[in-house]
């Protein structure tokens, strides 16, 4: 910058240059932190998923992911398939609800686990409690409707939308799984894509 450049121009130039340098240093630091923590975060995610899989399909000692983050096969210590686990994402009262459901080779529910939901505290959030999740145990897909809808699942008091979304979402997911991967059969090739989401928001009770 020449000596004839006005002082205010020089001052602004150095201010901008300083800001650029600070931004570059910050971006570089954030990138290093992200790269350093990414493996740890990913490992924690895998461990959390494995714990949830084991909870919904207790007889399995290992799992094979068939469709990324959607479908798993479970095997026992003798390497016999003992069931499957699906992930469903029905829409609840306040947004999508992510849940895992274990299905035995006889087609009955072996467990469900709510991995993510944003329902009303004290009401819809009760869906994460064992008292509600246990209502699904040993049920067939045909039974996975609320009692008021002709099924066997008692709704959470004052949280009918959440209860219905979970019951219907899991039932529809299992029905889709049974159609494309018959339960009770041997190990087979998974479908290219499974969509167990429910884009339609349930009606108010």
Whether 65 and 38 share a structural domain: no
What range defines the domain where residue 20 resides? 1-49
Assigned domain for 205 exists: no
Q: What is the pLDDT of residue 192?
A: 45
CA 50 to chain centre: 12
- Does one domain contain both 44 and 64? no
CA 150 to each of CA 154, 164, 172: distance values in angstroms, whole numbers, following the listed order? 11, 12, 15
State whether 165 and 147 are in the same domain.
yes
Say yes or no: 71 and 45 in one domain.
Answer: no
| Number of independent structural domains in the chain | 2
Buried b (16+ CB within 10 A) or exposed e, 2-22: eeeeeeeeeeeeeeeeeeeee
Alpha carbons within 13 angstroms on the beta-carbon side of residue 44 total 5
Same domain, 15 and 92: no
30 with 127, same domain?
A: no
* Within a domain: 99: yes
What integer pLDDT is reported at residue 183 of this predicted model?
Answer: 58
75 and 36 in a common domain: no
Q: Are residues 135 and 193 in the same domain?
A: yes
For the chain, residues with pLDDT lower than 70 are: 1-11, 13, 34, 179-205
Q: Does 92 reside within a domain?
A: yes
The verdict on 93 and 21 lying in the same domain is no
pLDDT in tens, 186-197: 444 444 444 444
Statement to judge: residues 34 and 81 lie in one domain: no
Same-domain pairing of 33 and 64: no
pLDDT at 98: 95
Determine, yes or no, domain membership for 203.
Answer: no
Please check whether residue 204 lies inside any domain of the structure.
Answer: no
């Amino acid at each position: 910058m020449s000596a004839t450049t006005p002082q205010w121009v020089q001052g602004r130039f150095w201010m901008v240059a300083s800001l650029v340098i600070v931004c570059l240093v910050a971006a570089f630091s954030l990138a290093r932190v992200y790269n350093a923590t990414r493996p740890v975060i990913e490992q924690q995610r895998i461990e959390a998923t494995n714990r949830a899989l084991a909870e919904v399909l207790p007889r399995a000692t290992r799992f094979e992911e068939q469709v990324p983050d959607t479908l798993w096969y479970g095997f026992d210590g003798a390497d016999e398939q003992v069931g499957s686990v699906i992930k469903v994402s029905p829409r609840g009262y306040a947004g999508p609800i992510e849940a895992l459901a274990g299905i035995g080779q006889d087609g009955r529910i072996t467990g469900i686990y709510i991995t993510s939901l944003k329902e009303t505290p004290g009401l819809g959030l009760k869906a994460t409690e064992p008292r509600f999740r246990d209502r699904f145990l040993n049920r067939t897909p045909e039974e996975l409707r609320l009692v008021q809808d002709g099924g066997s699942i008692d709704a959470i008091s004052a949280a009918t939308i959440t209860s219905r979304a979970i019951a219907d979402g899991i039932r529809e997911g299992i029905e889709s799984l049974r159609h494309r991967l018959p339960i009770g059969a041997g190990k087979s090739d998974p479908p290219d894509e499974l969509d167990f989401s429910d884009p339609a928001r349930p009606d108010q009770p």
